[in-house]
Amino acid sequence: MPKEMKGSELISRLNSSVVFKSLGGQSAPGLKLSREDMDWWREAKLGMFIHWGLYSILGRGEWVYFREQLSDAEYRKLAGEFCPDQSPEQIAQSWVSAAQNAGMKYMVMVTRHHDGFSLWDSPGSFGQFTTAATGPKADYVRAYADACHAAGMRTGFYYSPMDWRFPGYFHPKEQLDSALRMKQQTYDQVEELTTRYGQVDILWYDGGWLAHTGSDCDSAWLYEPVKLNRMVRRNAPKAVINPRSGWEGDFYCDEGSHEVRGKIIPVPWEKSMCLCTGKSWGWMPEQDDPLSSLDSLLTMLVNVVCRDGNLILNVGPDQNGRIRPDVEKRLSQIGSWMEENGEAIYATRAGIFQPVDSVYGTTFRENRLYLHIQDPEAFRRQTLPPIPYQIERAETLDGISLEIRAAGEGWTVDLPQRLIEEKRVDTIVRITLDRPIVERFDEDIRFTGE
C-alpha cells in the first residue's frame, strides 16, 4: 500500500521549495500508469508548452477575457479576426522545429483554454466556438499532431475543463444545468482529442476547479474525474496524465519560475514555467514580457533534473502563430547547450547523492555518475559521501581526466583551476563506476491533500 501524507509533509521533509498543485485527488485501482510506462517521460527531461489562442491577438494575457470582463459578443468577434497569415501546417512545423532546436523531447499544446475557444474541429464545442467554424476555418490540433508524429516528437494536449462562458462555472449548484452542460462539453471534447489525432502521449488538464475557488479536487463531485480518465485510458491507454482533473494523476506539477531547492523528490514531477517573466503564458510584446536569461533557464533545468523532475518551458506565439525572435534565439541557445551536455541530462535519474543547494547535484545512467557543479569554489570544500562502487575514472564530458582524492571516509574531485575560472552555469564531471548504479529515490506515495 502507498504511504499516505500531505504534500506539505513531504516538502517539509525534503526542505524543498517545490509547491505541488492539486494534491489529494481521487484514486482508482489500475488507472495510474506503471513505472515502465512512465519511463519515456522520465527520460525526456525537457519539453515545450504552447499557449496560443484568441488572447494572442490582444497580447494582454490568456486571462484577458475574464479579467477585463469582455462581453461574449465582443470576445467572439475576435474569432473572426483570428486569421493567421500562415497555413496550419506551416505554423505547426515551425513550433516542432523550434522544440527540436531546443533539444526538447515532448510538446504540450493548449487546445482550449478557459475562454472556451477550441483550436480544432470540435462537434462538442458549446456554440461551435472553434477555429474550424470561425475565421480561419482550420483544425490546428490536426496540424500540430501530424507535425509532432512525423518528427517523432512525443505529443501532448492541454485541455481546460472550466469555461467562463457557462454561468454554471461560477454558480455550479445554483445553476446546475449550465454546469452539467459544461461537464458534457468536457467529456465530448476530451473524447475527440483522444480518438481523432493519433497517438496521444500526454494529457495536461488545467482549471478543474469551480467558481475560481478551492482546488481541482474540490470539483470532483461535478466532473467525476475517475470516470473521465477511465474514458481516456480506453482511448489512449499509455497517455501520461497530470493531476489537474481531480484524479491523482501520473505525475505532479510545480508551476512558476520560483527557485528549486531541497532534496531529491521521490515522485514523478514536472516544473512548468515561461521562457519569459511569467507575466503571461500567452503572447505579449517583448517590452511587456522580457525574456529570461539563458543562465537562469539552464540553472533551473539543472536544479530540476538533479531533483528527478522534468522541465517544460512555455512559449506564447503571436496571432499568426510565430514565436518571438528573441524566444526562438533562446531556444536555440538551450539546444546548443544540450548538444554539448545532454549526456548528463537525458535518460538519467537523480542521485546517488542528495543535492547541495547552489553547489552541486548529481544524475546517473547505468554505471556513469554525473556531477553537476554549480559553484566550483564551494565544491572544492565538499567531501563526497562514500559509495559502494569502485571508481574507474573521472573526466569532463570532453574527455579531460581528473584526479580523485580520498578524504576521510569520502572522496573529492580535484578540479583544475581552468574549470573554476570559467564560471560555467554547470561544470559537469563524468564518473565511471565498476558496475551499474541501482539506488533509486522512488517512493509510492498517496497524497491526501496539499
Long-range pairs for 357-362 at CB < 8 Å and ≥24 separation?
357/261, 357/262, 358/261, 361/302, 361/303, 361/305, 361/306, 361/307, 362/306
My answer on whether 10 and 138 are in the same domain is yes
Question: In this predicted model, what pLDDT tens digit does every residue of 287-317 receive, in sequence order?
Answer: 999 999 999 999 999 999 999 999 999 999 9
* Alpha-carbon gap, residue 4 to 14, rounded angstroms: 16
Angle at 138 between CA 46 and CA 147, to 5 degrees: 30
Residue 302 sits in a domain of what CATH number? 3.20.20.80
Q: Which three cell numbers stand for residue 426?
A: 554547470
Decide if 447 is inside a domain. no
Q: What percent of the chain has pLDDT over 90?
A: 96
Q: pLDDT digits over 210-220, tens only?
A: 999 999 999 99
pLDDT tens digits for range 181-211: 999 999 999 999 999 999 999 999 998 899 9
Q: In terms of domains, do 190 and 281 share one?
A: yes
At residue 423 the predicted structure's pLDDT band, cuts being 50, 70 and 90, is confident
Rounded to an integer, what distance in angstroms lies between the CA atom of residue 344 and that of residue 365?
A: 8
Per residue in 370-413, pLDDT tens? 999 999 999 999 999 999 999 999 999 999 999 999 988 899 99
Rounded mean pLDDT, 40-65: 98
Q: Is the dihedral of CA 288, 294, 296, 297 positive or negative?
A: positive
Looking at residue 208, what is its pLDDT?
85
Residues 6+ apart with CB under 8 A from 308: 42, 264, 265, 266, 269, 349, 350, 351, 441
148 in the same domain as 225: yes
Q: How far is CA 17 from CA 269, 271, 303, 306, 307, in A?
A: 13, 12, 11, 14, 11
In single-letter form, the type of residue at position 171 comes to: H
State the Cα–Cα distance between residues 48 and 44, nearest whole angstrom: 11
Domain contains 442? no
Same domain, yes or no: 330 and 369:
no
Burial 79-94 (b: 16+ CB within 10 A, else e): beebebeeebebbbbb
Largest Cα separation within the chain, whole Å, is 73
Q: CA-CA distance, 392 to 407, in Å (whole number)?
A: 17
348, 365 Cβ separation under 8 angstroms = yes
Considering the domain architecture, whether residues 236 and 367 belong to the same structural domain is answered as no
What are 410's strand-pairing partners?
Answer: 407
- pLDDT of 1: 80
Query: Is residue 245 assigned to a domain?
Result: yes
Instruction: Print the domain residue range for 381.
Output: 351-433
Omega before 50 cis (within 30°)? Answer: no
201 lies in a domain?
A: yes
Say yes or no: 81 and 106 in one domain. yes
Amino acid identity at 203: L
Mean pLDDT in residue range 40-57: 98
Per-residue CA distances from 366 to 32, 130, 269, 347, 402 (Å): 26, 48, 22, 10, 20
**Domain finish residue from 342, 373, 395:** 342
Q: Are 324 and 379 in a shared domain?
A: no
Contact of 210 with 172, CB cutoff 8 Å: yes
Separation of alpha carbons 324 and 407, rounded Å: 50
pLDDT of residue 295: 98
Q: pLDDT for 315-363, tens place per residue?
A: 999 999 999 999 999 999 999 999 999 999 999 999 999 999 999 999 9
- Domain count within the chain: 2
Contact yes or no for 82/136 (Cβ under 8 A): yes
- Same domain for 32 and 164? yes
The CATH number for 401's domain is: 2.60.40.1180
Name which of 4, 17, 20, 6 is nearest 355 in CA terms.
Answer: 17
Q: Is residue 15's pLDDT more than 90?
A: yes
Say what the pTM is: 0.97
365 and 326 in a single domain? The answer is: no
Q: Please tell me the distance from the alpha carbon of residue 208 to that of residue 216, in angstroms, as a whole number.
A: 5
Count other Cβ atoms within 10 Å, centred on residue 447: 25
